[in-house]
Amino acid sequence: MEYFSFQWHITDECDQRCKHCYIFSENNCKAPDAMNWAQMQKTFYNCLDFCEVYGRLPYFYITGGDPILHPDFWSLCGLMKEHSIPFTILGNPFHLTDEVCRRLKGFGCEKYQLSLDGMRETHDWFRKPGSFDCTLEKIAVIKKAGIRAAVMTTVSGANIEEVPEIIDAAAD
């Protein structure tokens, strides 16, 4: 049976205010929004029902903001495990520790996607100071837990010349 993938934005809450982020692009002063636990459960089961109707296996890409900051994040991971559903996290590096990554792996997290939007100066300009070094450091933590680390780049005129260096940094 083939997978059907859902990219699921559960919260706007985030440690960064990236210059290219759609969440805060129109109103930098808006309060972050998030799904409540009842909404999350309803959405989860609706996705499972959809997959059952169409003969697909569900796969979730859980994102936000930084989904780890959602107050019900670990409950959602438990729901994924309870139903043996694999998932990927699209998040930030700031809350990743050996223990957090071990927990994620135990719940069925297969991959954690981080962003590198340039080399140190460019990336930290897009995101926040120290983010580049933290991202590279946490790739090793993710991999040590047995989770695949993925690196995403939002390519723009500000970083296109750095793409080959970004690839080398991520591979190293």
Q: Return the closest-CA partner of residue 149 out of 132, 117, 171.
A: 171
The pLDDT of residue 150 is 96
- The phi and psi torsions of 127 (rounded to 5 degrees) equal -110, -85
Cα–Cα distance measured from residue 170 to residue 172, given in angstroms and rounded to the nearest whole number: 5
> Rg of the chain over CA atoms, in angstroms?
17
Task: Write down the pTM of the prediction.
Answer: 0.91
Instruction: Assess contact for 86 and 33: CB atoms under 8 A.
Output: no
pLDDT at 139 over 90: yes
Per the listing, tokens 């996705």 go with 47
Q: Does the structure show a pLDDT above 80 at 31?
A: no
Average the pLDDT over 97-102 and give the result. Answer: 98
pLDDT for res 17: 67
DSSP E strands in 24-127: the ranges are 57-64, 87-90, 109-115
Q: Is 139 left (phi over 0), alpha (psi -120 to 50) or beta?
A: alpha
